[in-house]
C-alpha cells in the first residue's frame, strides 16, 4: 500500500529557525544522546542502520522522534540525502504539541505505525 507522506508543514513556516546540512552530512548518529526531533523543511533525509537504508524522509516528514519519546539514545543514523534544512523540536515543545494539538500526536503515531509496518515487512 502506498500512502501519502504524513505532512508536518504547519510547523516549519517562514521564520522558523532551521539547521542546514549539505548532502552526505550526518545529522545524528546511532547511539548519540538525543534532545530533539526534526522536521524536514526542504530536501530529503536518509535513515540508516549500519549500511542498510531504512527510509528516506521527504520534505515535511519527521525523524528522530523515537529518542524523544523514550529518552533512549538514537536508534539509527540520519544523513542528509540532498542539501537539507531541518527544523528541530525540543522535548518541551514536543510535549506542548502533544498536549495541545491531538492532531500532531496522531500524525506522529501514523508516522511510527508506517515505520513499524515497513520494519515488520522486512523481517
Q: Which three cell numbers stand for residue 80?
A: 542528509
Rounded CA-CA distance 94/69 in Å is: 9
**In the range 34-93, which residues lie near a second copy by CB under 8 A?**
49, 52, 54, 65-66, 69-70, 72, 75-76
Q: How long is the chain?
A: 123
| Segment contacting a second copy by CB under 8 A, of 34-42, 56-64, 83-91, 105-113 | 105-113
- 80 close to 27: Cβ distance less than 8 angstroms: yes
User: Measured on CA atoms in the order 88, 8, 46, 109, is the torsion positive or negative?
Assistant: positive
Task: Specify the residue, 43 or 55, whose C-beta has the smaller distance to a second copy.
Answer: 55
**In the range 6-45, which residues lie near a second copy by CB under 8 A?**
none
Number of H helices, E strands in the chain: 3, 8
- Site for a second copy, rule CB under 8 A: 1, 3, 49, 52, 54, 65-66, 69-70, 72, 75-76, 95, 98-99, 102, 105-106, 108-110, 112-117, 119-120, 122-123
Amino acid at each position: 500500500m502506498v500512502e501519502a507522506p504524513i505532512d508536518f508543514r504547519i510547523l516549519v513556516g517562514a521564520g522558523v529557525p532551521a539547521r542546514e546540512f549539505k548532502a552526505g552530512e550526518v545529522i545524528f548518529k546511532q547511539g548519540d544522546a538525543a534532545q530533539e526531533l526534526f522536521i524536514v523543511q526542504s530536501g530529503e533525509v536518509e535513515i540508516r542502520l549500519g549500511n542498510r537504508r531504512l527510509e528516506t524522509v521527504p520534505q515535511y516528514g519527521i525523524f528522530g522522534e523515537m529518542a524523544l519519546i523514550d529518552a533512549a539514545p538514537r536508534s539509527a543514523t540520519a544523513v542528509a540525502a540532498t542539501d537539507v534544512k531541518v527544523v528541530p523540536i525540543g522535548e518541551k515543545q514536543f510535549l506542548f504539541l502533544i498536549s495541545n494539538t491531538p492532531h500532531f500526536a496522531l500524525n506522529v503515531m501514523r508516522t511510527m505505525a508506517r515505520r513499524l509496518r515497513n520494519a515488520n515487512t522486512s523481517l
